[in-house]
Structure 1
Amino acid sequence: MNDRIVVGLDGTRESVAAGQWAAREAHLRNAPLHLVHAEESTAPLDAPSPTADVRRHWTDALLSEAADDLLTSQAGVVVSTESIDGPPAASLTRIAEDASMLVLGSRGLGSLTGYILGSVAMAVVHTTERPVVLVRAGEDAEASSGSTHTHDRPLVVGLDLSRPCDTLLSFAFAEASLRDCALHAVFSWKLPPVAGYGSAYDPRVHAQLDLSARTSLSDVLRPWREKYPAIDVIEHASAGHPAHQLLEKASGAGLLIVGRRIRRSPVGAHIGPVTQAVIHHARVPVAVIAHRRRRSV
């Protein structure tokens, strides 16, 4: 793996926001930035296409203008461009195989409803094992994109303590260290169905479960706190719906980090209901980190 950051561009406001966010990230990491436009030609190979030259000029202008704008906003970042004739999702996944991350835009639905992924971004999230950052266009995302000095905003990482967290925490702590910002670690748990019933629920049971959850979270974070002693880590362990808790804690954050378990099965990959909800409704950039089911030995 190398340090370069790959950005998918298609000319939309969302991809422009993704490019701005990625350029700031490249500056922080002192990493090269690679801008990619991928589009599959629909014309038969043996048939002349009167629009082929027009599309080629449009693509060249798109990449050239984006590169110039990002070089202006982030002086010193090395920017390269590439145009690919092929399925966008598969092409972006292949190009990013050896990259440190892939950054994509996400389509907005409105001021209150968050955003929904397009088919390309969703396919990429489901298949690539590289970190994918999804950036929407809009006030919150633009404030976090690097156009202003907002990369010191706190980061939020959502943890499922029933699964390995090392890959997720490695990314989260490294990002917080780059930004010199606080990191909020969020673990939400649901009450067991046999723990209580309505108003008869025993608060002592709740307190015991809460203490157990907070202890488990602290235990998981301890080695990372020792590795990154300068990072201000704020722990959140509470009962509730995980997606709701993450979205609430991530309001105003610089980045929300969630995991996706790598699954290879005949029915395809899955990202899990919490990550699914978060990437569709978060108003800040979301990093999806693929991780193995079990810890490597």
Structure 2
Amino acid sequence: MSREIVAGVDGSPESLAAAGWAAREAVRRGLALRLVHAWRWEPLDIPLEQDRTHQERWADEVLRAAESTITGGHPGLAVTAEVLPDTPVAALLSTEERAEMLVIGSRGHGPVVGFLLGSHGQQIIAAATRPVVAVRSRDDAEAEGDGEGDGQGGEIVVGQMGGAEDSAPALGFAFAAAAARGATLRAVRAWNLPSLYAYSPGSMALADEAGGLVPYEKKALREALAPWRERFPDVRVTEQVELGSAGQVLLSSSGAARLLVVGRRARRGALGSRIGSVAHAALHLAPCPVAVVPHE
């Protein structure tokens, strides 16, 4: 089954930016693009005339306008577009079987305006089994810096946390994105000093064997990157190990990034699925598109 990139569109500037980003990514990776718009007839229980035909026509026009914009800018790209009769969250998640990634728009950034993706974006990221890329309305081909004309593809930043298996999906996504762009990959591992209660001779044995905490963290990053360096030998990699919280270190490292990639543990808790504090910080404050990649 061939993979495709799926972008949700609703007529907003954010969703059009997301569709544009998805189209460029599809061209880079040699994939098809699927545009979807969620709409279903839900008459309101109010004493006003409600025209289903008019609303249905409007939904189709939103989708066709986005499709026209994308095909006009990328004439060689295979694009399909359809209205899915469901809620936005369910509609986008229903496309995952063939999706290489899902791409959605986001309103802006800063916690003062509430969750930047809104409830739909939050639910999609929390429940998706495929990577989800959130794109801001100001992102376009020029701002993204595809490297056209200067031979440089910019920099992709990826957070590496935990062991090699934990971070493998995020690293794999980031290496593929860097390879598609001819970009440099910056792999960032943040660490903190162990708390007084966590410290013990036994708990520090591995760090002692590595020659200290910093060498231990560098070794962990190097080992996590090793299989991906072998798989993508042409990707230039910068390794960064820094003391601090993961969210703060990643944000401070992504000021000039074309894409920030973070992982999300795909487990349901007592309160349902969550996106995690690192992904939450990145989605709120990163100045570039953010890819959230689920892992077990």
TM-score with structure 1 setting the length: 0.85
| Equivalent position SS for 1:251 | coil
Measured against aligned partners, the alpha-carbon deviations of 1:227-264 in whole angstroms (never above 9, x if no partner) come to 22211100001111111111111112111101111114
Q: Is the 8 A contact 2:139 2:288 kept in 1?
A: no
Matches within 5 A, 1:77-88: 77-88=77-88
Q: In the alignment, residue 188 of structure 2 is paired with which amino acid?
A: V
Partner in structure 2 of residue 224 of structure 1 = 228
Q: Is the 8 A contact 1:108 1:137 kept in 2?
A: yes
Partner in structure 1 of residue 177 of structure 2 = 175
C-alpha separation in 2, matches of 1:50 and 1:58 = 13
By how many angstroms is 1:223 displaced?
A: 2.1
Partner in structure 2 of residue 42 of structure 1 = 42
Q: Is the 8 A contact 1:6 1:102 kept in 2?
A: yes
C-alpha separation in 2, matches of 1:143 and 1:149 = 14
In structure 2, the CA distance between the partners of 1:289 and 1:262, relative to structure 1 (3 Å rule), is same
Q: Is the 8 A contact 1:40 1:88 kept in 2?
A: no
Matches within 5 A, 1:1-297: 2-43=2-43, 50-109=50-109, 116-138=116-138, 143-144=143-144, 152-162=153-163, 164-194=166-196, 208-292=212-296
| Equivalent position SS for 1:193 | coil
In structure 2, the CA distance between the partners of 1:140 and 1:161, relative to structure 1 (3 Å rule), is farther
How many residues of Structure 1 are paired with residues of Structure 2 in the alignment?
A: 282
| Equivalent position SS for 1:164 | helix
C-alpha separation in 1, matches of 2:39 and 2:147 = 28
In structure 2, the CA distance between the partners of 1:42 and 1:147, relative to structure 1 (3 Å rule), is farther
Q: Is the 8 A contact 1:18 1:145 kept in 2?
A: no
In structure 2, the CA distance between the partners of 1:122 and 1:149, relative to structure 1 (3 Å rule), is farther
| Equivalent position SS for 1:130 | coil
Q: Find runs of 4+ consecutive structure 1 residues off by over 4 angstroms.
A: 112-115, 139-142, 145-151
By how many angstroms is 1:193 displaced?
A: 2.2
TM-score with structure 2 setting the length: 0.86
Select between 223-232 and 98-107 the one with higher mean Cα deviation. 223-232
By how many angstroms is 1:145 displaced?
A: 8.0
Q: Is the 8 A contact 2:9 2:36 kept in 1?
A: yes
In structure 2, the CA distance between the partners of 1:141 and 1:289, relative to structure 1 (3 Å rule), is farther
By how many angstroms is 1:141 displaced?
A: 8.5
Identity within the alignment, %: 38
In structure 2, the CA distance between the partners of 1:230 and 1:105, relative to structure 1 (3 Å rule), is same
In structure 2, the CA distance between the partners of 1:154 and 1:115, relative to structure 1 (3 Å rule), is farther
Q: In the alignment, residue 31 of structure 1 is paired with which amino acid?
A: L
| Equivalent position SS for 1:230 | coil
Q: In the alignment, residue 264 of structure 2 is paired with which amino acid?
A: R
Which ranges of structure 1 fall in alignment gaps of 5 or more residues?
Answer: 197-204, 293-297
Measured against aligned partners, the alpha-carbon deviations of 1:182-205 in whole angstroms (never above 9, x if no partner) come to 000000001112399xxxxxxxx9
By how many angstroms is 1:208 displaced?
A: 2.6
Which ranges of structure 2 fall in alignment gaps of 5 or more residues?
Answer: 200-207
In structure 2, the CA distance between the partners of 1:264 and 1:113, relative to structure 1 (3 Å rule), is closer
Give the RMSD, CA atoms, in angstroms: 3.0
